[in-house]
Amino acid sequence: MAAECSKSKCAILFAKIKESNNDVWPIVYSPNYNITFFGMEKLHPFDSTKWGNVFQYLQDSNMISKDTVVCPTEISKEQLLEFHTERYISSLNWSSKVAVITEVPPVACLPNFVVQRRLLSKLRLQTSGTIIAARLALLRQWSINLGGGFHHCSSDKGGGFCAYADISGALKTLKTEGLINSALIIDLDAHQGNGHQKDFKDTDWVHTLDVYNGSIYPGDYKAKEMRNLLAIELRSFTADEKYLDKVSNGLDRIFSVMGQSFPDIIAYNAGTDCMVGDPLGQLSISPQGIIRRDEMVFRLARERKIPIFMVLSGGYQPQTAQVIADSILNLKGQGLIAREPNL
């Protein structure tokens, strides 16, 4: 089932989902998420086929197939300009700019049309997937985009392999269309989510819980000035017990701050670069610890009846995809996600 990004096409998509909702999982994925770039993708620690590997593991486990997930198409420039500045989007027409953002210097030497087709189009597709996942969550109570989570990108600046602000874009789109009045971002990637923090710095309708390694990139102290931010900084090599305690405590605190006003939706940035051995995250969370973490977040959303959409974000080890798939299968096994709507 394909999903265009225009409002009219989205209306058609969701009408079809409502009609056949027992046949389609609220999971968004396209095989075109994966990046092959003349081998240059190997110059960055990011596993550029992670998204496809997660899908394959879930398919091998007989949970999903290409016919039972929602397949997005690329977001348009006009839609990107709804949550990005014209200046920033225009800057991506320069390969040297993209090289800085993606941290792959040789990209600067390539013609921009090649960079657009082989790299940026993939990230635009995943950005579309996040927006569709946010819409799906409102219909089905939960959703997962098997990509996205570009939390270092804001409306006017990219970085850390994040060229488009998909989390900010999804929430701003829902707010503009009158579908939500409030949102909570739970960012558990190992790195600070400075992009969405800057985008929502002065807004009242978005709260953020960000639990990350305070000793690594990006160290964006300006972004931490966000009005409704609860930032919990961890020491390098923090392990399961302390990590899960910090996450649990953070969830309790952020909901205490919000009081009785539960958010209309949760955006969950479920980075797995906190896993032990990750060269960039520098934390020591076991695969089982990540599974327990994801279960904790989804159980909270389920108990409070808050729609939640999850994006994959960082994770830089070959085994990361298997851990993500195992976590999703655990959510299914625990009854926290199901193909049928209205859990």
Question: What are the pLDDT digits (tens) for 40-72?
Answer: 556 556 678 899 999 999 999 999 999 999 999
Please say if 196 is a catalytic residue: no
Could you give the CA distance from residue 197 to residue 204 in angstroms, rounded to a whole number? 12
* φ, ψ for residue 242, nearest 5 deg: -70, -40
- Active-site choice (84, 151, 152, 207): 152
CA-atom Rg of the chain in angstroms = 18
Band the pLDDT of 8: cuts 50, 70, 90. very low
Q: What is the pLDDT of residue 119?
A: 94
CA distances, 83 to each of 122, 165, 235, 320 (Å) = 18, 8, 33, 30
214-225 residue pLDDT tens:
999 999 999 999
Q: Comparing C-alpha atoms, which of 148, 164, 161, 5 is closest to residue 84? A: 164
Query: Where do we find the tokens 């006009």?
Result: 78
Tens digit of pLDDT for each residue in 175-187?
999 999 999 999 9
Q: Which amino acid would we find at residue 163?
A: A
Residue (of 157, 162, 180, 161) closest to 170 by Cα position:
180
Q: What is the pLDDT of residue 10?
A: 52
Q: What is the mean pLDDT of the chain?
A: 92
Share of the chain above pLDDT 70, in %: 90
Least confident of 23-37, 81-95, 152-166, 194-208: 23-37
pLDDT band at 166; cut points 50, 70, 90: very high
- Of the pLDDT bands very low, low, confident and very high (cuts 50, 70, 90), residue 5 is very low
pLDDT in tens, 12-41: 455 445 544 567 999 999 999 998 866 655
- Mean pLDDT to the nearest integer, 282-292: 98
pLDDT for 160: 95
* Overall average pLDDT of the 297-306 stretch: 97
Q: Percentage of residues in the chain with pLDDT exceeding 90?
A: 85
Lowest pLDDT segment from 239-243, 274-278, 330-334, 338-342: 338-342
Both structure tokens of 175:
């707010």
pLDDT over 70 (residue 280):
yes
